[in-house]
Homo-oligomer: A and B are copies of this chain.
Amino acid sequence: MSKKANRRGFLALGALGTLGSCAKKAEKPPSDLGPGSRAVGAPSPHEKLERIFNSPTPATGSSRTPLQSLHGVITPASLHFERHHAGVPAIDPEKHELLVHGLVERELIFSVAELKRLPSVSRVYFVECAGNSGSEWRSPAPSVQRSHGLASCSEWTGVLLKTVLEEAGLKPDARWIIAEGGDACLMARSVPVSKCLDDAMIAYAQNGEAIRPEQGYPIRLVLPGWEGNMQIKWLRRLHATPDAMHSREETSHYTDLLADGKARQFTFELDAKSVITRPSGEQQLAGKGFHEISGLAWSGRGLITKVEISTDAGKTWQAAELQEPRHAKAFTRFRLPWSWDGAEVTIQSRATDETGYVQPTREELTAARGENSLYHYNGIKVWRIDATGKVYVA
């Protein structure tokens, strides 16, 4: 780093930006004339962002969002994570219907077009699979796409579930709504009526356009801040009942087996969580000097109020800047300017939400919950940067 470079800028950005020459640049010929406008755009061929997917059977499995390469808080719909229990049904929206029945004054059937005529709302929310970061319980994953890629964030548009339920008229003994999807396994979950009358949505659009097939086209349930598998995709039935169904997805699956052999059932709200996405595992720092540490934080209980970053193995913490405006129950982007001196270092982030809940370390989390679980992991993720600038899981 030259003395001249050292004098530049308040951020000590160092050698970024080569000293230039107008003459050199002016000689460069302009680009060739390219194509004109087109009906639908696509990414540059130089960009190869993809979800990582694995499917134990052709129709079962999941795919993970490349969080390490994304910016801001919106996840492009084409890269939103997937988790399918029985594939992606091909649904004709003209034929799809939603039945509301059980403990209601009036059983009703809505077409998709009828749902779209109802009063609408648009809100930015994350969706996270209960199994996101499942690897971290026993074998921390080497990249943020593998450790945290089962979470994404979109602007969802639809009708509040309470609008539909008020049309049907819930009877006093209706305490749960069983929501059922139109996939081959009729994936279903029990949702407490209190959530259904709060911020739950029947969504038909995502980031401006129709929900993608793998996200529940033409309609899905959105339960802001709650585990993803409850947010039933391809929604076809809402059954008002006095009790939960205690189905497989509510007993053997999506429950947390604690150290004492008892299981925690109905973990609805997802605890506050954060992860540094850049620099993150499998990335390579270009050199010493200025780098921005950036990542994502979210909480199922509302707003993220603070994200702190440690670059000294958790001894000291600095508050990161939070991207505004923040949305409750949505990704919040955090950023911290940082200068890397070239020595081996670990970096980690810790989120606090508006309830005062602080994201635990891995040790704190396993002390409270044991190490049997597959789900609901929200411990702090630590990255190690070696002297060559290569980033590894710590």
Residues of A in contact with B (beta carbons under 8 Å apart)? 4, 8-11, 13, 16-22, 25, 30-44, 46-47, 49-55, 57-63, 69-80, 82, 84, 86-94, 97, 99-102, 106-110, 113-114, 117-122, 155-157, 163-164, 166-169, 182-186, 204-205, 207-210, 212-215, 217-218, 234, 236-237, 286, 290-292, 294, 323, 325, 327, 333, 335, 337
Contact = CB atoms under 8 A, between A and B. Distances in A.
B72 A208 contact: yes
Given A43-B213, A46-B92, A72-B156, 11 more contacts: A10-B166, A25-B109, A38-B63, A40-B79, A41-B82, A41-B212, A41-B215, A49-B210, A71-B208, A73-B208, A120-B292
Closest 9 CB pairs of A and B: A31-B89, A72-B122, A71-B157, A34-B87, A20-B109, A71-B205, A37-B53, A37-B63, A39-B50
A280 to B, nearest CB: 14
Contacts of A84: 36-37
- The winner among A46, A73, A108 for most chain B CB atoms within 10 A is A46
Number of copies: 2
A368 to B, nearest CB: 32
21 contacts: A17-B114, A19-B107, A20-B107, A36-B55, A37-B53, A37-B63, A39-B63, A40-B49, A41-B77, A41-B82, A43-B210, A44-B91, A49-B210, A70-B205, A72-B122, A72-B207, A76-B207, A118-B290, A120-B335, A122-B323, A207-B207
Given A74-B74, A117-B286, A209-B79, A110 B17 contact: yes
Nearest to A97: B25
User: Which secondary structure characterizes the binding site on chain A?
Assistant: loop
Nearest to A167: B9
B184 A118 contact: no
Contacts of A106: 4, 8, 19
Nearest to A183: B31
Contacts of A52: 39
Contact of A167 (B13, B50, B164): B13
Contacts of A71: 120, 122, 157, 204-205, 208-209
Contacts of A31: 89-91, 182-184, 234
Given A63-B37, A120-B292, A47 B209 contact: yes
- The winner among A41, A53, A88, A99 for most chain B CB atoms within 10 A is A41
A337 B163 CA distance: 13
Contact of A16 (B8, B40, B110, B212): B110
A337 B75 CA distance: 30
Contact of A51 (B39, B89, B155, B294): B39
A87 B41 contact: no
Given A38-B53, A292-B120, A32 B89 contact: yes
Given A34-B88, A57-B36, A8 B72 contact: no
Contact of A76 (B59, B63, B69, B208): B208
A92 to B, nearest CB: 6
A28 to B, nearest CB: 8
B167 A119 contact: no
- The winner among A10, A21, A44 for most chain B CB atoms within 10 A is A44
A51 B40 contact: yes
A179 to B, nearest CB: 14
